Amino acid sequence: MKMHIVVIGANAAGAKAASKAKRINPHAEVTLVDRGNFISYGACGIPYYVSDTVADVKELMTTPVGVVRDAAFFGKVKGVKVITGTEAVAINREAGTVELLETASARRYTLGYDRLVLATGSTPFFPPLDNSDLEGILTVKSIEDAELLKASAVAGKQACIVGAGLIGLETAEALRQQGLEVTVMEMRDQVLPGVLDAEMAALVEKHLRMNGVKVMTSCRVTRFVGSGRVAGVVADKGEVAAQLVVVAPGVRPNTTLARETGLEIGATGAIAVDSRMRTSDPYIFACGDCCESLNLVTGAKVFVPLGSTANKQGRVAGINAAGGEASFPGILGTSILKVFAVNAGKTGMTETEARACGYEVETVLSPAPDKAHFFPGAKPIALKIVADRKTGRILGLQAVGEGAVDKRLDAAAAAITFKATADQLSQLDLAYAPPYSAAMDNLLVAADILKNKLAGHARGISAREVKRKLDEGDDFILLDVRSPAEHAEVGIEGAKLIPLGMLREKLDSLPRDKEIVTFCKISLRGYEAQKILDGAGFDKTRFLDGGIMMWPYELKRG
């Protein structure tokens, strides 16, 4: 008897599941149902279409060779029947049927299934604010959103982005490149919350401001104003004029269908699934933005909607729905974005997340060029490693900078997946040639610093803690060990200069009863200075993590 597989939702996860199911079981009848008219498109590419980086919206819906992934494509190439403009409104699990509503005609009918895959995706969270129905208030999720946003992106207008997450910042760049004045409002105290820790996020925020984007953090939006069309956004920090508003505070899983049919919903609010992407009903699978994932570090269930995860989960769900055997182990939440000239991303846990989960944490901040420092085109990147102090296990990596951060994140993702320690990470045999990295890659250097910290040889202090000490007038020495020329160009107010090469002969000028915090550009010399002081019997020494390159506050110029 022919197997009938029905997939609800025809974007990344659903399209992948349907295609894979048909390949695994060529004799199965596979039907892909979607309430929209556009299917299998790259929603993550929408900001790049708005900015004209992607010239034609059709490019978001094509294969690498330029064939549009429409119903005809899926029918002829994949052998999958596609029904668009049709919403699944109910599931009868006992009968094995899905009730469908054809949007244009309001016709209702049922479709039988032997296996059902839910790939219902997610919906942008739209906070319940006054006047949210005004024209010009948009989200960024669908092709329809993309076309409307691009049509609204008129140079000279003022735009406000509500939410400083990945999509919010990518959209801010896109609108700025179209000549709009852009303000980003974020209710939490930093940009990219949940992606970066505060000191790394500060580097991204600084770059946003340098490119003309106004950033307002710890800023709660209360309402929109306007008559017919939006004219401004009102927040607890004041009102910002805006003729275009993009609401991007995050998404919520579409679970209505699953809830109404009695499927188990996890603690995250998304559909609960096992490693085979199977729901609490053995004949129904779920994948993509509507379901949970397993965190590979903590073992806890999480909801982290990403296109990469959706494709992998869709493949597993399709294989198992068709009678095969596959499993999805979990995720690290690896994320990356480009905003103007800066690249930023993370894999695994941030320091904030790790501490919240009860880990005793050690961290490293390590800025350096992404290539050999003498090679033309070398650009700075900053890495932050988060590790378990008790075991040395790597818990996470964050990377920000104009250089290549992606390959460091990918290498770290592999290491974290296989539970690598600082020692193991430091010994990775990474590719080296001057056009690609230093002989000791940034990632390996950061791992070596971590090893020194774990062994007690290196003692770092964060920029935030040093700033607190300065502001509160703590009695300590902030020691700049750079050259006089570097010190004269830019420095930290209140720092004392002793170049590293002169430190040994100047030891008698330093008080032995005070804490001494050493620093340089990236704190390589700062660490060497700490070791010189240690060897000379100074017992209250630390170095500034990341040096002056990771100092997020105002610097003294000239």
What confidence category does residue 146 fall into, taking pLDDT thresholds of 50, 70 and 90? confident
- Cβ proximity of 197 and 398 under 8 Å: yes
Question: Is residue 38 a part of any domain in this protein?
Answer: yes
Over residues 524-530, the mean pLDDT reads 95
- Selected catalytic residue, list 44, 287, 290, 291: 44
235 in the same domain as 150: yes
In this structure, of 16-20, 127-131, 178-182, the range with the lowest mean pLDDT score is 127-131
Same domain, 114 and 153: no
pLDDT value at position 204? 96
149 and 113 within one domain: no
Look at residue 429 and tell me if it is in a domain: yes
Structural domain tally of the chain? 4
Residues 264 and 119 in one domain: yes
Tell me, yes or no, whether 105 and 14 share the same domain. yes
pLDDT in tens, 445-475: 999 999 999 999 999 999 999 999 999 999 9
CATH of the domain at 201: 3.50.50.60
pLDDT of residue 39: 84
What pLDDT score does 452 carry?
95
pLDDT at 40 over 90: no
Q: Given a cut of 90, is residue 46 above it in pLDDT?
A: no
Which DSSP category does 212 fall into?
A: T
Residue with tokens 């990474």: 430
Instruction: Give me the torsion for CA of 99, 279, 303, 365, rounded to 10°.
Output: -150
CA distance 287 to 315: 9
- Other Cβ atoms less than 10 A from the Cβ of 154: the count is 13
Asked whether residue 228 is domain-assigned, the answer is: yes
How far apart are alpha carbons 272 and 391 in whole angstroms?
31
Strand ranges inside 284-441, DSSP E: 284-286, 293-294, 301-302, 335-339, 342-348, 361-369, 380-388, 394-401
The 10s digit of each residue's pLDDT in 370-402 is 999 999 999 999 999 999 999 999 999 999 999
**Residue 68: pLDDT over 90:** no
pLDDT band at 318 (very low <50, low <70, confident <90, very high): very high
pLDDT of 300 > 80? The answer is: yes
Amino acid at 146: A
293: its two tokens: 């994932």
Q: Which of 485, 546, 488 is nearest to 517 (CA)?
A: 546
In this predicted structure, what is the pLDDT of residue 461?
Answer: 95
Residue 267 has a pLDDT of 96
In this predicted structure, what is the pLDDT of residue 143?
85
In whole angstroms, what is the distance from residue 248 CA to residue 167 CA? 7
Mean pLDDT, the chain, whole residue set: 95
Same domain, 277 and 259: yes
The CA angle 87-89-93, to the nearest 5 degrees, is 125
The residue with tokens 């604010």 is 129
- CA gyration radius, the chain: 27
pLDDT tens-digit readout, 23-32: 999 999 999 9
The answer on pLDDT for 69 being more than 90 is: no
Q: Which of 392, 421, 454 is the last residue of a domain?
A: 454
Confidence band for 2, pLDDT divided at 50, 70 and 90: confident
Do residue 22 and residue 117 come from a single domain?
Answer: yes
Residue at 102 is within a domain: yes
- State which of 195, 218, 249 marks the end of a domain: 249
357 is catalytic: no
Q: Are 7 and 308 in contact (CB under 8 A)?
A: no
DSSP state of 504: G
Same domain, yes or no: 211 and 352: no
Record the tokens describing residue 244, joined without a space: 């275009």
Q: Report whether pLDDT(63) > 90.
A: no
- Beta carbons of 445 and 384 less than 8 angstroms apart: no
Strands (E), 355-452: 361-369, 380-388, 394-401
Same domain, residue pair 158 and 212:
yes
Q: So what's the pLDDT on residue 142?
A: 84
Q: Are residues 359 and 426 in the same domain?
A: yes
User: Considering the domain boundaries, does residue 513 fall inside one?
Assistant: yes
The pLDDT of residue 28 is 96
Among 454, 475, 498, identify where a domain stops.
454
Per-residue confidence band for 50, with pLDDT thresholds at 50, 70 and 90: confident
Residue 26 lies in a domain: yes
Q: How far apart are the first and last CA of the chain?
A: 81
- For strands 361-369 and 380-388, give the pairing: antiparallel
Instruction: Provide the 10 A C-beta neighbour count for residue 106.
Output: 7
Examine the domain organization and report whether 432 and 483 are in the same domain.
no
Give the pLDDT confidence score for residue 448 in this predicted structure: 96
Give domain status of residue 130, yes or no.
no
Residues near 471 by beta carbon (within 8 Å), at least 6 away in sequence: none
128 domain residue, yes or no: no
Q: For position 58, what pLDDT does the model report?
A: 83
**Residue-level pLDDT at 43:** 82
Q: What is the pLDDT of residue 64?
A: 85
50 and 147 share one domain: no
pLDDT tens digit string along 228-285? 999 999 999 999 999 999 999 889 999 999 999 999 999 999 999 999 999 999 999 9
What pLDDT score does 296 carry? 97
Please say whether the beta carbons of 385 and 363 come within 8 A: yes
Residues of the domain holding 540:
460-557
Whole-number Cα distances in Å, 380 to 15, 419, 445, 501: 39, 28, 14, 25
Q: Give yes or no for residue 1 having a pLDDT over 80.
A: no
Please tell me the pTM assigned to this model.
0.93
Cβ partners under 8 Å of residue 282, min gap 6: none
